[in-house]
Amino acid sequence: MSHKIIKVPMGKCNSYLIATEKGFIMVDAGMPDKINKVKQILKEEKATLSHINLIIITHVHYDHVGCLKELKEQSNAQVLVHKSEADLLIRGSTNMPKGTNSIAKILSKISNKFFPNFSKFEPVLPDISIKDEYDLAPFGVDGKILHTPGHTKGSISVILAEGDCLVGDTMFNLFPNTVFPVFANDTEELKQSWEKIKEYDCQRFHPGHGSSFECKKFIKSLNKYET
């Protein structure tokens, strides 16, 4: 089962569409008010929102669920999330995650203290909540979803048999020498998740922030992390 990955720029973060034999799988639902971007890209593929069958939420942060309610309503797609974050989706709010460097740490503290409503979004009831793994074959693509906690407790990554890995915020491609995320609630857990991802020998990585990158950059970042 072949597929194609299409990047959807959604403001400061990326969503992706995976074109499969059975329609589209969307990974993440971007910043608010960007639904036209999704429509436009689907139009170029001669498709509409109704061709999306599944929306995978890599984790419940406002920049990944901003258009989710609208998208779900207009596409009728099923929404999938890790079970440990389903309640956040239903509640419609999250905290800013912990920073992994000094500037991000300060930013995170300030925003949680002074802007507790900063990360509010339209609540959505998920259709599927997963635990460790989830097979994507019924949606027309060889691949699976893997629980990769660290950035948040319920972060998940999509691993496709042809060598693509869609990682959400488990990796950030914003710096020249590393893909280590700027924010992560548990860096030890994150490292274990990276080790788990490594097992799959993925060739191309597609992050929530920054451009797609090759396996080499991931391995280099992982080796740096281990020392």
Q: What is the x/- site pattern for Zn ion, positions 12-51, by CB under 5 A?
A: -x--------------------------------------
Q: Distance between CA 22 and CA 199 in Å, rounded?
A: 28
Q: Would you say 13 or 29 has its CB closer to Zn ion?
A: 13
Binding status of residue 147 toward Zn ion by CB under 5 A = no
The count of residues in the chain is 227
State the nearest-atom distance from the C-beta of 13 to Zn ion, in Å.
Answer: 5
Q: Distance between CA 72 and CA 78 in Å, rounded?
A: 7
Stretch that binds Zn ion, among 19-27, 32-40, 133-141, 206-214 (CB under 5 A): 206-214
> Which position among 34, 35, 55, 63 is part of the footprint of Zn ion (CB under 5 A)?
63
> Which position among 61, 69, 72, 82 is part of the footprint of Zn ion (CB under 5 A)?
61
- Tell how many helices (H) and how many strands (E) occur in the chain: 7, 12
Distances (CA, A) of 198 to 192, 218, 222: 10, 9, 9
Q: Would you say 66 or 208 has its CB closer to Zn ion?
A: 208
Q: Would you say 126 or 208 has its CB closer to Zn ion?
A: 208
Q: Would you say 51 or 153 has its CB closer to Zn ion?
A: 153
Longest CA–CA separation in the chain, Å:
49
Q: How far is CA 157 from the centre of its chain?
A: 7
Stretch that binds Zn ion, among 9-17, 66-74, 82-90, 132-140 (CB under 5 A): 9-17
Q: Would you say 2 or 101 has its CB closer to Zn ion?
A: 101
Binding status of residue 208 toward Zn ion by CB under 5 A = yes
Q: Would you say 63 or 164 has its CB closer to Zn ion?
A: 63
Binding status of residue 169 toward Zn ion by CB under 5 A = yes
DSSP string, 49-74: GGGEEEEE-SS--HHHHTTHHHHHHH
Stretch that binds Zn ion, among 29-37, 109-117, 157-165, 202-210 (CB under 5 A): 202-210
Among residues 161, 142, 139, the alpha carbon closest in space to that of 22 is found at 139
Q: Is 178 exposed, middle or buried (0-12, 13-18, 19+ CB in 10 A)?
A: middle
Residues that bind Zn ion (CB under 5 A): 13, 61, 63, 169, 208
